[in-house]
Amino acid sequence: MKTIAALLVEHLRKFGVSHAFGIPGKAVVPLLLEIERQEMTYVLARHESGAGFMAGGYALQNHTFGVAIGTSGPGGTNMLTAAAQAMAYHLPVLFITGHPAMKDTGKAIGQDSSPFGTDLVKMFEPVTLFSTRVERGDLFPMYFRHALEKAWTGRKGPVHLSIPADVLMEEIEPFDVSLPQPLPAVSSYIDQVIPLLERAKSPLLFVGKGVHLSRAYDEVRELSLRFDIPVITTPGGKGTVISSHPGYLGPFGLGGTAEASHYLKMGVDLLIVIGTKLSDMTLAGFTNDMNPQQIIQFDIEPTFVGKSIPVPTLAVMGDAKENLQALLAKTSRKEDISTVPASSSELIEAEKPAALEKWISAGRAVEVLRQTLPAQALLFGDDGSHTYYAIQHFDILQEGTFFFDDVFGTMGHAIGYAIGAKFANPDRPIVCLTGDGCILMHGTEISTAACHQLPVIFVVFNNGRLDMVDKGMRHNIGRSVGTVYETAVDIHLFARSLGAASFRCTQEQEMEEAVTFALKQQGPTVIEIMVDPEEVPPTMMRG
């Protein structure tokens, strides 16, 4: 006989999970003790949402489960945002919350997480694929198996188990569950795609975040080359295609390039959409004269297919990598057509902002960052103007090195994601690009990186305001309200107080020296960059 806590940790270790992230509390103490006994690393976060973000970054890089642990009541509610962010990334994160005791349920108890108090199971339902309470030890094997299946097959995503403290200590007969094998996900409509591709005179590939999740980089590259199709990316699809790929026109939507817009306006007869639901962030700046004649939309989830652009749409459902492999197996390279421009820079020469004396242009700062970081560095972009500058100006030298969510968009999430990714991938340079607004929300997790001596590089654009909202309000209504900090935070000193090395940069040379230092540092480095507070970010196309 073994306890539920022991069996849970045994299975996680079997699945390749070496780290769990969380904040302790009485209701989850049995689980924490078991994690220690089985020599699994428990990472003490500074906030439960930070723990959830770290678990997301860990899952993204380790290609297994991320695990986030929160105690009952507020410990669970604090992780709801992280669960929603994991949903947006389609990441298999197991959120475990506690409850004081099943035997006392119905009485007045502190931090009650049952229907008599704060019902965490119901709260997690909209932001997970599966949420349930394990009310007896004998229910755990089946509920655990359901959670694994929901998180790991088809459209992956987070799941939640609320396990009361006394249930964690219950003993049951040992059992064995394996990670479910993904079911084949090749669409029956692949054969209908081929004639559309062969007839197209002006096709265009529109590639989103789903290509990151299925790791379909090789297939997208081959499809583009085989059919001579130019490529644009969504904001979240940044990093799925290298910048030097023939015919890569850059991103479209917020942070998009003039080249991408120009090509769409010239007339596209077939738009091949891969791994994006075509949200308002992705279609910012999309006008009726850009409508293609036909769309082929590859997606693993059907909810939004065919609903964003009102033209005939062929839905190809299932995993992008598997479907593209099936398509490529049925086709051969064209020999007589070349629709791909020789170089995206031949269409329109992008203007580069000039450097200023008291601060650095945000666009130029991104270019300097690219010049000083190695090609294999992974960059996690936080939600704000800073990352949209990177979407426009940060060249991709290797696929799968830039991650950003333009759907749920939690400010500060990339701080935790970068830390979790570093635990999963310790030999890879990891960079978080964030802003002063994001740092004020979740910047204390830098202390977590400092305590574990993780060499994560945090690049922080500081202009004393919530820039994207500030500029958006000023652009649309002529003024902004509640967007500027009356006393701007000194991020350089804040970072030092958390145990990180830190720099404040107002010149390009200072940036270069700071990044060079950070790449050799055994521990986190925060590089605060003072950017022009009046510079207009590439986000004004969104109404």
Domain ranges across the chain: 2-172, 190-342, 362-530
Q: How far is CA 343 from CA 246, 262, 333, 348, 467, in A?
A: 6, 14, 20, 10, 32
Q: How far is CA 361 from CA 365, 366, 458, in A?
A: 6, 9, 18
Q: What's the CA gap between 151 and 130, in Å, rounded?
A: 8
- The helix, strand and coil proportions of the chain, stated in percent and rounded to the nearest 5, come to 40, 15, 45
Q: What's the CA gap between 327 and 76, in Å, rounded?
A: 44
CA angle 471, 242, 408 (to 5 degrees): 40
Q: What's the CA gap between 29 and 3, in Å, rounded?
A: 13
Q: What percent of the chain has pLDDT over 70?
A: 95
Residue 333, pLDDT score: 65
- Torsion sign over Cα 191, 194, 199, 204: positive
Q: What's the CA gap between 118 and 77, in Å, rounded?
A: 9
Strand partners of residue 66: 93
pTM value is: 0.92
Strand partners of residue 97: 70, 162
Angle, helices 80-89 vs 413-424, to 10°: value is 70
Q: Does domain 190-342 have CATH number 3.40.309.10?
A: no
Contact 230, 249 (CB under 8 A): yes
pLDDT at 373 over 70: yes
SS3 140: helix
H-run or E-run covering 199: helix 190-199
Given pLDDT bands bounded at 50, 70 and 90, which one contains residue 296?
Answer: very high
* Tens digit of each residue's pLDDT (9 = 90 or more) over 199-211: 999 999 999 999 9
pLDDT at 350 over 70: no
* Tens digit of each residue's pLDDT (9 = 90 or more) over 141-188: 999 999 999 999 888 999 999 999 999 999 999 999 988 887 777 888
Cβ neighbours of residue 405 closer than 8 Å, sequence gap 6 or more: 85, 88, 89, 209, 236, 383, 413
Per DSSP bridges, beta strands 171-172 and 231-233 are unpaired
Q: What's the CA gap between 55 and 51, in Å, rounded?
A: 6
Q: What's the CA gap between 197 and 149, in Å, rounded?
A: 35
Residue 342, pLDDT score: 41
Of 12, 40, 61, the C-alpha closest to 418 is 61
What CATH number is given for 362-530 in this structure? 3.40.50.970
Residue 543, pLDDT score: 57
Structure tokens at 237: 């699809």
Angle, helices 362-372 vs 508-520, to 10°: value is 40
* Tens digit of each residue's pLDDT (9 = 90 or more) over 363-372: 999 999 999 9
Residue 86, pLDDT score: 97
Mean pLDDT of 515-520: 96
Q: Which residue matches tokens 């005791």?
A: 101
In CATH terms, are 190-342 and 362-530 the same topology? Answer: yes
**Burial category of 525 from C-beta neighbours within 10 Å (exposed 0-12, middle 13-18, buried 19 and up):** buried
Answer left, alpha or beta for residue 396, where phi above 0 means left and psi between -120 and 50 means alpha: beta
Residue 338, pLDDT score: 46
Alpha helices in 333-487 (DSSP H): 362-372, 385-393, 413-424, 436-442, 446-451, 467-477
Q: How far is CA 167 from CA 79, 109, 144, 258, 445, in A?
A: 21, 16, 14, 58, 31
Q: Thinking of the domain 2-172, which architecture would CATH place it in?
A: 3-Layer(aba) Sandwich (3.40)
Mean pLDDT of 412-424: 97
Backbone angles phi, psi at 131, to 5 degrees: -145, 125
pLDDT at 472 over 90: no
